[in-house]
């Protein structure tokens, strides 16, 4: 069943993938700036597919509606797993890119043994942050009364922004030792050392624990029978 969805995704999103390939080839000729561009393009790429995959409860011709997906004879648990796998496919370029960094720029695989665990957790957290924010936006558009909408938007900003900040701090803590010590003195190095109060290990293990609650929460909201 999952292949049926993935085949369809490849056909529907071939323009996205072709564009990504073009940007990749162009960036390879642009040196370090090209790599920076690639990092951000790969990081933003999954958000293009988010709406298309999750489906929408309101009318649109750009994506399959959620009601259609939920009415299909697939267990909702399996359907939600399929949805996550479909989203993860769009995280593949970023995952491969980030997984290669210890061999290339960082050049220190031994130091970053924890790196791959942090990468895995970060991608899952980002993905569930996407799912959560999409569901919140739906809720704002459909149910939340006018007076509460501003607070609902602020809640999205705090949760998504907070998640990014905490993970960002985790990554800073994981990488700053070497980058700051090896590189030239940067204006924010003192600030970076202040942020080291929480060890990266604590942040990423904490994020994994957060996921244990966040995934079932998102699953129940996306398909109420879970």
Partner 1 sequence: MSSMIIAMGLQYRLHKERDILNGVSFNLNKGEFLAVLGENGAGKTTLLDLLMGFRRRTGGQLRVMEEDPDHDGWEARARIGYLSEKVDIPGDWDGEEFLAFHRRFYNSYDLAREKRLVEQFKISYEERVGYLSAGEIRRLQIIGALAATPELLIADEITAVLDILGRRKFLQVLQEQQKERGMTVVLATNIPEGLEAYADKILLLNRGRQILFSETNVLDGRGDLAGAVAERLERL
Query: Would you say 210 and 125 are in contact if contact means Cβ atoms under 8 Å apart?
Result: yes
Nearer to partner 1, 37 or 74 (CB): 74
Candidates 199, 215, 131; CA nearest to 166 is 199
The CB-of-193 to partner 1 minimum distance in angstroms stands at: 47
SS3 at position 56: strand
For residue 180, what are the contacts with CB-CB under 8 A and spacing of at least 6? 186, 189, 192, 193
Binding to partner 1 (CB under 8 A) within 113-152 occurs at: 143
Nearer to partner 1, 24 or 139 (CB): 139
The CB-of-220 to partner 1 minimum distance in angstroms stands at: 9
Among 6, 16, 35, 76, contact with partner 1 (rule: CB under 8 A): 76
Question: How many angstroms separate the Cα of 64 from the Cα of each of 12, 54, 68, 69?
Answer: 11, 8, 7, 7
Choose the stretch contacting partner 1; rule: CB under 8 A; options: 60-68, 128-136, 187-195, 200-208: 60-68
Distance between CA atoms of residues 124 and 207, nearest Å: 9
Q: Does 14 bind partner 1 (CB under 8 A)?
A: no
Among 57, 116, 153, 206, contact with partner 1 (rule: CB under 8 A): 57
Nearer to partner 1, 8 or 149 (CB): 8
For residue 193, what are the contacts with CB-CB under 8 A and spacing of at least 6? 176, 180
The CB-of-57 to partner 1 minimum distance in angstroms stands at: 7
The CB-of-71 to partner 1 minimum distance in angstroms stands at: 4
Exposure string for 164-201, b = 16+ CB within 10 A, e = fewer: eebbebbbbbbbbeeebeeeeeeeeeeebeeeeeeebe
Q: Does 226 bind partner 1 (CB under 8 A)?
A: yes
Distance between CA atoms of residues 10 and 6, nearest Å: 6
Among 29, 32, 33, 59, contact with partner 1 (rule: CB under 8 A): 59
Among 6, 12, 81, 217, contact with partner 1 (rule: CB under 8 A): 12
The CB-of-1 to partner 1 minimum distance in angstroms stands at: 8
Size of the site for partner 1 (CB under 8 A): 29
Query: Would you say 115 and 32 are in contact if contact means Cβ atoms under 8 Å apart?
Result: no
Q: Which residues bind partner 1 (CB under 8 A)?
A: 1, 4, 8, 12, 52, 56-65, 67-68, 70-77, 143, 224-226
């Amino acid at each position: 069943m999952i292949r049926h969805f993935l085949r369809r995704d490849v056909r529907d999103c071939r323009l996205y993938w072709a564009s990504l390939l073009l940007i990749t080839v162009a960036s390879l000729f642009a040196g370090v700036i090209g790599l920076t561009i690639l990092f951000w393009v790969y990081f933003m790429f999954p958000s293009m597919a988010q709406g298309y995959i999750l489906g929408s409860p309101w009318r649109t011709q750009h994506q399959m509606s959620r009601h259609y997906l939920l009415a299909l004879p697939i267990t909702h648990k399996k359907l939600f797993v399929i949805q996550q796998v479909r989203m993860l496919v769009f995280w593949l370029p970023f995952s491969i890119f980030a997984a290669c960094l210890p061999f290339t720029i960082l050049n220190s695989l031994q130091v970053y043994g924890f790196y791959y665990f942090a990468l895995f957790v970060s991608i899952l957290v980002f993905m569930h942050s996407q799912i959560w924010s999409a569901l919140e936006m739906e809720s704002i558009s459909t149910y939340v009364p006018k007076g509460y909408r501003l607070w609902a938007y602020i809640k999205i900003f705090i949760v998504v922004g907070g998640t990014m900040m905490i993970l960002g701090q985790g990554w800073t803590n994981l990488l700053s030792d070497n980058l700051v010590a090896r590189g030239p003195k940067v204006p924010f190095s003192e600030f970076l050392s202040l942020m080291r109060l929480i060890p990266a290990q604590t942040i990423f293990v904490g994020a994994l624990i957060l996921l244990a609650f966040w995934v079932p929460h998102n699953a129940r909201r996306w398909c109420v029978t879970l």
